Homo-oligomer: A and B are copies of this chain.
Amino acid sequence: MLPITLRVKSQFDIVMQITSQRLGRSIDRRVGMVERAGRLEPRTDAPSPGRPSADPVPGTGRNPVPRPVPAKAATIYDVAQAAGVSHQTVSRFLKGFAGIRPETREKVERALDELDYRPNLTARSLKSGRSHRIGALTHELSNVGPSRVAEGASAAARECGYVLDLVSLDARSAGEIERSLDLITQHELAGVLALSSTDEMTRAFETTEFRVPVFIDAESDDAVTGRRSGLAQVGIPALIDHLAELGHRSFLHIAGPPMWRAARNRILAYDRELEARGLHSAGVLPGDWSARSGYEAIAALPRLPEATAIVAANDQTALGAMLALKERGVRIPEDISVVGIDDIPESPYFDPPLTTVHIDFEMQGRASVYRLIAQIEHAESRPVVVPPPRLVVRRSSGPAAHA
């Protein structure tokens, strides 16, 4: 029998619990049994035995119970009083100041524990003028790249004792960037990070006066900085090498939106690498990172491209392009090879699985945060090893079809 009686806590329960200390029944872990490969017995019980009436809205529509205000949080003054010392002693203890007599230390420690003291970072940063918050602007979180970068950044920040304020916005709208920047800089920030670099973003960052360190994350810098291990220096060359070795001589690129540095970077590298090898580019089609744009770029072509290999700006675009090709009767990779960039988790499961360049976005995000924090703390940046982009050969690329 299947115990999938989910007793889902509504927020009401939570509120109650908070206010009254009532111990909620813990959610059962019986659900684990679903795993049992094979059958899941139909459950016979009604969804919510205990709760008859339907809730018209998601996540409970109950009125917020006017919460009796929970006891105020303890301050160092409360702690000091409880311990019979001065607040400054408490403060010293909290900062790990060494010169405190053991007995005093113990009293403080006990009081701290008893009152469940938690520091008020607001007050701290008001006085000290420094906070441990990092503002981060990003765009299109739903794409793998940006979101991975954000995750990495968030994790790195947390590890360093910082909190990342992630603001997701339309990085192409100057106005929105401006507004967001305006909003977040009112909070005491230790630094600001731009995780998506579009022209608008860099422009906004250049024209805004920050009084804290800022950092612009950009994979794309490498075309400009000549960094040796980046996508443009390593990843794309490897990709082109791979295709060239398969005998491809004529290529097509479906680009990302030009306002993105990463997109321009990829175009640049594509061009440069072809040229360096004496290969031919049949053109660069506009795209916007989306599968849709890849599909349409190909579908809109008056006739099939002469190119035998298509380099898409990212995996999604490659996906769209592949579908359009298949619909026109092109076999991949027998007739045309298609490759992407990014290596999103789904690309191994495309049909055919996609040859692409793996990028470690998470590390990239971490690196940015470390950099920024180094600036903030005037310390050396923690050394980060961002693994270089790596060619991943799958089945979407094959020997060039030579007439």
Using an 8 Å CB-CB cutoff, how does the interface string of A1-38 with B read, 1 for contact, 0 for none? 11011111111011101100001101111111111111
B268 touching A43, Cβ below 8 Å: yes
B40 touching A8, Cβ below 8 Å: no
B119 touching A186, Cβ below 8 Å: yes
Total chain A interface residues with beta-carbon distance under 8 A: 181
With contacts A267-B40, A378-B18 taken as known, whether A48 is within 8 angstroms of B225 at the C-beta atoms is yes
Is A77's CB within 8 Å of the partner chain B? no
Contact stretch, chosen from A80-88, A242-250, A342-350 = A342-350
Q: Compute how far the CA of A23 lies from the CA of B95 in the bound complex, rounded to whole angstroms.
A: 9
With contacts A14-B214, A267-B4 taken as known, whether A35 is within 8 angstroms of B95 at the C-beta atoms is yes
Q: Which residue of B lies closest to A363 (CB)?
A: B58
Q: Which residue of B lies closest to A46 (CB)?
A: B226
With contacts A60-B225, A202-B27, A349-B323 taken as known, whether A14 is within 8 angstroms of B295 at the C-beta atoms is no
Q: Tell me the residues in window 69-125 of chain A with beta carbons closer than 8 Å to chain B beta carbons.
A: 69-73, 94-98, 112, 116-123, 125
Q: Compute how far the CA of A54 lies from the CA of B112 in the bound complex, rounded to whole angstroms.
A: 49
Q: Which residue of B lies closest to A165 (CB)?
A: B165
Q: Which residue of B lies closest to A35 (CB)?
A: B286
B64 touching A226, Cβ below 8 Å: no
Q: Tell me the residues in window 119-148 of chain A with beta carbons closer than 8 Å to chain B beta carbons.
A: 119-123, 125-126, 128-133, 141-142, 144, 147-148
Quote the shortest CB–CB distance from A216 to chain B (angstroms).
Answer: 6
Q: Compute how far the CA of A148 lies from the CA of B144 in the bound complex, rounded to whole angstroms.
A: 12
Contacts of A377 in B (CB 8 A): 18, 36, 38
Is A47's CB within 8 Å of the partner chain B? yes
Q: Which of A56, A326, A377 counts the most B-chain CB atoms under 10 A from its CB?
A: A56
Is A271's CB within 8 Å of the partner chain B? yes
A163 touching B147, Cβ below 8 Å: no
B95 touching A33, Cβ below 8 Å: no
Quote the shortest CB–CB distance from A276 to chain B (angstroms).
Answer: 10
Q: Compute how far the CA of A79 lies from the CA of B3 in the bound complex, rounded to whole angstroms.
A: 55
With contacts A187-B122, A223-B47 taken as known, whether A212 is within 8 angstroms of B345 at the C-beta atoms is no
B122 touching A126, Cβ below 8 Å: yes
**11 pairs from A and B in contact (CB 8 Å cutoff):** A8-B213, A13-B129, A15-B378, A27-B202, A39-B379, A55-B225, A57-B386, A60-B215, A158-B183, A291-B348, A350-B351
